[in-house]
Chains A and B, each alone.
Chain A
Amino acid sequence: MSGFARRFARNRPAVAGLIVLAAIVAIALAAPALYPQSPFALVGKPFQPPFAEFLFGTDQLGRDVTAEVVHGARTTLLIGLLATAVAVVFGMIVGGIAGYFGGRVDALLMRFTEIFQTIPFFLFAILLVAVLTPSVRNVTLAIALVSWPAMARLARGEFLATRNREFILACESMGMTHARIIVAHIVPNTLSAIIVTASLMVASAILIESGLSFLGLSDPNVISWGYIIGEGRTALRTAWWVCTIPGIAILLTVMAINLVGEGLNDALNPRLRSV
């Protein structure tokens, strides 16, 4: 365990990413304390530039951009984590069963997954949210629905590879039930790959969510970074900060998650030193 921590700590970009991510999470958690008023509230004159009265200025309606960004962090992280959690669970079940049992079951489940993977996912998400009407629940559902095939693919690959290793055959020859083999032997050996992929999936979930809210498909009662940018588009020439600052927030969050995910990958799977 300590070997893992040491290897992770050696990776400086990963550590930087972890610090940034921790900061963002902290801010998100502290949002109601930092800015108790609703971010939709009008607090001042519109189009005020940043670093004047308000840290990030005000938007075209006179809302505090800083409050919007801080509260938006909660939405983004919440939806990102939730959607990924659902996708991971579903994907692991489908992929795990396919990879473990092989044969017809595998072929069938993989065709099913393949079909979902071929569908243009962003269009599908748009369609889904549009049809079901925008809300946090529906956005999360839509993102989970388009993300699960990637996890299913990975889980299937990992389960399949592990299942054919000799130590699993040994377990089988000892008379263990499938359940025991999967839980006690296969899952612990595939966990690292799944964790890494799950962390990268959170990043992509955030990107999808921000894209959806940019197009106006976010829950109207909740502020979201993409929404701020979408709203601020019309004022691009004069109040460019309304679009820029939330975008930087998305960029930092996604990059931090990616760096942490890659750091996890390097730390969990120490390969031979590179040439």
Chain B
Amino acid sequence: MRPTGNGLRYVFRRLALALPTVLTIVVLNFALLHLAPGDAADVLAGEAGSATPEYMAQLRQKFGLDRPLYVQLVVYLKQVVTLDLGYSFRHNMTVTELIGSRLGPTLLLMLTVFALSVGLGVLLGATAARNLNRWRDNLISTLAVLAYATPVFWAGLMLIVVFSIKLGWFPTSGMETVAAFNEGFARVRDIAWHLVLPAITLTLFYLALYTRLMRASVLDQYALDYVTTARAKGLTERQIARRHVLRNAALPVVTMAGVQIGALLGGSVVVETVFAWPGLGLLAYESLFARDINLLLGIFFVSAVLVVVVNLAVDVIYSLLDPRIELR
């Protein structure tokens, strides 16, 4: 039906278009590196004072810190592109390894939140629109307005107070009960149990956003002519909602979800900090605490690349849903 041979070309072309973005990020990193207080070598060494003098000398030579700025930029570019992001003395591994080890939990959290917020958002938004101005709509809309205004970190803290401290239903922090040494399915259940509160916290805001968006989108769709045509054919309202309106109305939500990936990553910093969830966000907080700018820069770079890749994936998904978008 639609030529998928073009699909691969499309992916490559979008990746090519993403190159300037990645480049800009690297340049930004470089700028921030030099804006930071102290010697660039101090910053590159990570936590001040924990590096050996030999290492510092090595750094100075490697990054050519006595050479002109543009040469330094090229060197820096090379390092970053080969994923040589530095070394962390505190954790005793390269930054790349460190980030790699923390990527999993963040991805788990983000994917869960993405699925929940988009899935539930579409359902709730459609429900609100179909029950316009009646109690279901008023309830959903009011809750959405509330959730949209709630700071994520505060929501997390309040959830902990109510559900962990007062009610004791969920753990207050962490990803798993380390002391239990769970294996296999028991481990999965344990992680899932720990995932509940952090996921709900981060989902709240985006759920509100997508619910409101979906509601408006459904209302827009019902004003269009093809709905009248469908009625003229004799479809029931339920058939119209399911077969025609839902898919068209969900498209803007998918687009928005793609745009929000970057924001989602930022939100995870706060949530992981509140719940001590061992992901990239918590790592960012820790590096902030330890004044390890280099690690922070590394996390920033990886996150930005992640966003670009996910954006591409969302674009491809969108083009599968909307036949008007041709993959050229």
Contact = CB atoms under 8 A, between A and B. Distances in A.
Interface of A: 13, 111, 114-115, 117-128, 130-133, 203, 207, 210-211, 214-217, 226, 229, 233, 236-237, 240, 243-244, 247, 250-252, 254-255, 258-259, 274-275
B153 A120 contact: no
A131 B149 contact: no
Given A133-B37, A207-B151, A120 B303 contact: yes
Given A131-B293, A243-B157, A214 B270 contact: yes
Interface of B: 20-21, 24-25, 28, 32, 35-37, 132, 145-146, 148-154, 157-158, 160-161, 165, 219, 222-223, 259, 262-263, 265-267, 269-270, 273-274, 284-285, 288-289, 291, 293, 296-297, 299-300, 303-304, 307-308, 311
Contacts of B24: 115
A127 B263 contact: no
Given A120-B304, A211-B151, 11 more contacts: A117-B262, A119-B304, A120-B263, A121-B262, A127-B297, A133-B37, A210-B151, A214-B270, A215-B273, A254-B149, A275-B132
B284 A126 contact: yes
A274 B219 contact: yes
A131 B30 CA distance: 12
Nearest to B31: A131
A122 B267 contact: yes
Contact of A123 (B36, B149, B269): B269
Contacts of A124: 300
A132 B145 CA distance: 35
Contacts of A229: 153-154, 157
Contacts of B296: 126-127, 130
Closest 7 CB pairs of A and B: A122-B266, A247-B154, A255-B149, A254-B149, A120-B262, A120-B265, A131-B36
Nearest to B142: A13
A226 B273 CA distance: 14
A275 B130 CA distance: 11
Contacts of B148: 254-255, 258
Nearest to B36: A131
B211 to A, nearest CB: 14
Contacts of A118: 21, 262, 304, 307-308, 311
Contact of A240 (B161, B266, B267, B269): B161
Contact of A126 (B28, B146, B288): B288
22 contacts: A13-B145, A118-B304, A120-B303, A122-B263, A123-B265, A123-B284, A126-B288, A127-B32, A130-B296, A131-B32, A131-B35, A131-B36, A131-B293, A211-B151, A215-B269, A215-B270, A215-B288, A229-B153, A233-B274, A240-B161, A254-B149, A255-B148
B97 to A, nearest CB: 20
A120 B165 contact: no
Nearest to A252: B149
Given A117-B262, A120-B307, A244 B150 contact: no
Given A120-B300, A120-B303, A247-B154, A128 B262 contact: no
B293 A251 contact: no
A240 B304 CA distance: 36
Nearest to B141: A13
Contacts of B145: 13, 255, 258-259
Contacts of B263: 120-122
B256 to A, nearest CB: 12
A73 to B, nearest CB: 15
A203 B270 CA distance: 18
A133 B130 CA distance: 50
Contact of A251 (B151, B157, B160): B151
A255 B262 CA distance: 23
A155 to B, nearest CB: 17
Nearest to B292: A130
Contacts of B32: 127-128, 131
Nearest to B259: A117
Contacts of A274: 132, 219
